[in-house]
Amino acid sequence: SYELIQPPSVSVSPGQTARITCSGDALPRQYVSWFQQKSGQAPLLMIYKDNERPSGIPERFSGSSSGTTVTLTISGVQTEDEADYYCQSVDRTNSYRVFGGGTKLTVL
């Protein structure tokens, strides 16, 4: 089955830049969304179509894509950004939605 691979954890200090990657062999052909999930809450859409930001999402959140890897970048990380982040895309046949395993962002 198709998988999206994310690092389990990323740690940064406040004000630094955090980069969370998501890898999958279908990503050159499929869009990726990124979701933020805080404890006990539903996921919140942060980025879609690789690099589009929904209204209301701070500009410090951005997305980029290069080959089989997409990256969520958080510039000037704030303590409130501490959360789990999930990438999401579709499989090689464009039939099934798939989530990455999630990355826990710790703001030290």
Site residues (vs another protein, CB under 8 A): 1, 31, 33, 35, 37, 41-45, 48-49, 54, 86, 88, 95-102
Closest approach of another protein to the CB of residue 14, in Å = 26
Residue pair 41/25 in contact (Cβ under 8 Å)? The answer is no
Closest approach of another protein to the CB of residue 89, in Å = 10
- Report CA-CA distances (Å) from 18 to 7, 12, 25, 82, 98: 12, 6, 23, 11, 23
Can you read off the two tokens belonging to residue 52? 């589009």
Closest approach of another protein to the CB of residue 46, in Å = 10
- In angstroms, rounded to a whole number, what is the distance separating the alpha carbons of residues 64 and 107? 22
Cβ distance to another protein smaller for residue 34 or 74: 34
Cβ distance to another protein smaller for residue 14 or 37: 37
Cβ distance to another protein smaller for residue 15 or 30: 30
Contact partners, residue 83, CB within 8 Å, separation at least 6: 36, 37, 38, 104, 105
Residue pair 18/103 in contact (Cβ under 8 Å)? The answer is no
Closest approach of another protein to the CB of residue 16, in Å = 25
Cβ distance to another protein smaller for residue 12 or 45: 45
